[in-house]
Amino acid sequence: MGRLGFILRRLAKAILVVFAIVVLNFLLIRLTPGDPAMVIAGESGAADEKFLADLRHEFGLDRPLLVQLAVYVGHVAQGDLGFSYRQRQPVVSLIAERLPPTLLLTGTAMALALALGVTLGALAAMRAGSWSDSAITTSALIVFATPSFWIGLMAVLLFSVQLDWLPPYGMTSVGENLSGLALIADIAQHLLLPATTLGLFFVAIYARLTRSAMLEVADLDYIRTARAKGLTESRVTRKHILRNALLPVVSYAGLQAGYLVGGSVLIETVFAWPGIGRLAFEAVIGRDYTVLLGVFIVTSIMVISFNLLTDFIYTLVDPRIEPATS
């Protein structure tokens, strides 16, 4: 019952957090300047008072704020995220269409960041004080300090414009009816630049985190005991130092996984990637409140879910942590 109780307590807290996020985001968006009815009316070429009143009534914008909030929370509780003012589609359908590309992009970026970051961090720790250690840590610091969108733009100029190796934007080639392996290869080509750009920032973080954690673990008593028993240095590094040094990396990666989903707006905009980050940007420009709220709710739920999963995995990775006391 310890692990089950741990999960149930975490789920109860997560539901309360989601409810608070829904209410807070709704109120904050309603307080921002701008009227979606005016935007729709301006695009349709009719902005008389009767047309504006009809639009506000159609979308419930003429009701008191607390009534709008109560209606919206009730719909969200039933899985209804509302209807898009501009695109005339249910918000759930729009997000369901845009979420898979975002998950593909962020999942690839996370896998790349973990694999490359942990590898570079381990190499730097194993050669602490050498020129390779200095090169890795300096490069990581430079990448960490450089804005991701600037790296993306420079990557497009180099690999797409100058060298013509990779496509500069989109998820698939326009005008080509591809299927099967050809479609997978085409998506992979379009994915390489945005995923690498998004993942580089986290490569720098994981490399520095892995290096510092390994150097800290290497000075502990049980590592000296393992060496005294005659274990080879590679086995000590792999089985004892790296394994225990990965605990903070796992914890941080779980927290950042949710951030990647909601924080890819700039990268998706630079590379015209059809994900929910770009959908949120389009909703901000068009004052499409329901779409923006829907994106906030979905990304918030994903962040919370990743945090829950990280907590659970952490108890499996480190048996010293008891779920019943978490």
Among 14, 44, 77, which residue terminates a domain?
Answer: 77
Q: What is the pLDDT of residues 143-192, one digit of tens each?
A: 888 888 888 888 888 888 888 888 888 888 777 777 778 888 888 888 88
Q: How confident is the model at residue 216 (pLDDT cuts 50, 70, 90)?
A: confident
Distance CA 308, CA 135 (A): 36
| Token code pair at residue 244 | 């225990």
Q: Return the CA Rg of the chain.
A: 24
What's the confidence (pLDDT) of residue 33? 64
Residue 296 lies inside a defined structural domain of this protein: yes
Residue 85 inside a domain? The answer is no
**Rounded to 5 degrees, what are φ and ψ at 272?**
50, 40
Is the pLDDT reported for residue 68 higher than 60? yes
Does pLDDT of 325 surpass 50? no
Q: What are phi and psi of 263, to 5 degrees?
A: -105, 20
- Cα separation, 24 vs 22, in Å, equals 6
Write down the pLDDT at residue 31: 72
CATH at residue 130: 1.10.3720.10
pLDDT for 172? 81
pLDDT of residue 51: 67
Q: What is the pLDDT of residue 43?
A: 58
In 156-275, which residue ranges form alpha helices assigned H by DSSP? 180-218, 221-228, 233-235, 243-262, 265-270
Please provide the average confidence, as pLDDT, over all residues in the chain.
78
Among 78-92, 100-114, 281-295, the range of highest mean pLDDT:
100-114
CA–CA separation, 299 vs 257, rounded Å? 11
326 in a domain, yes or no? no
Q: What is the pLDDT of residue 47?
A: 59
Count how many domains the chain has: 2
pLDDT (mean) for 115-132 = 85
pLDDT at 118 exceeding the cut of 60 = yes
Confidence of residue 278 (pLDDT cuts 50, 70, 90): confident
34 three-state secondary structure = coil
Residues 292, 276: Cα–Cα separation, whole Å: 10
Split at pLDDT 50, 70, 90, the class of 326 is very low
Cβ contacts of 306 within 8 Å, gap of 6 or more: 254, 255, 257, 258
**Cα–Cα distance, 19 to 77 (Å, whole number):** 9
Average pLDDT value for residue range 287-294: 82
Beta strands per DSSP E along the chain: none
Q: Containing domain of residue 72, as a range?
A: 2-77
Residues 300-323 pLDDT 10s: 888 888 777 777 776 666 555 555
- The reply to whether 84 falls in a domain is no
Domain boundary among 53, 77, 101: 77
Q: Are residues 239 and 310 in the same domain?
A: yes
Q: What average pLDDT does the segment 107-136 reach?
A: 86
In a domain, residue 260? The reply is yes
Confidence at residue 319, expressed as pLDDT on a 0 to 100 scale:
57
Specify the range with the lowest mean pLDDT, choosing from 94-108, 253-267, 291-305: 253-267
In which band, very low, low, confident or very high, does the pLDDT at 324 lie, cut at 50, 70 and 90? Answer: very low
Q: Is residue 137 part of a domain?
A: yes
Mean pLDDT, residues 49-77: 76
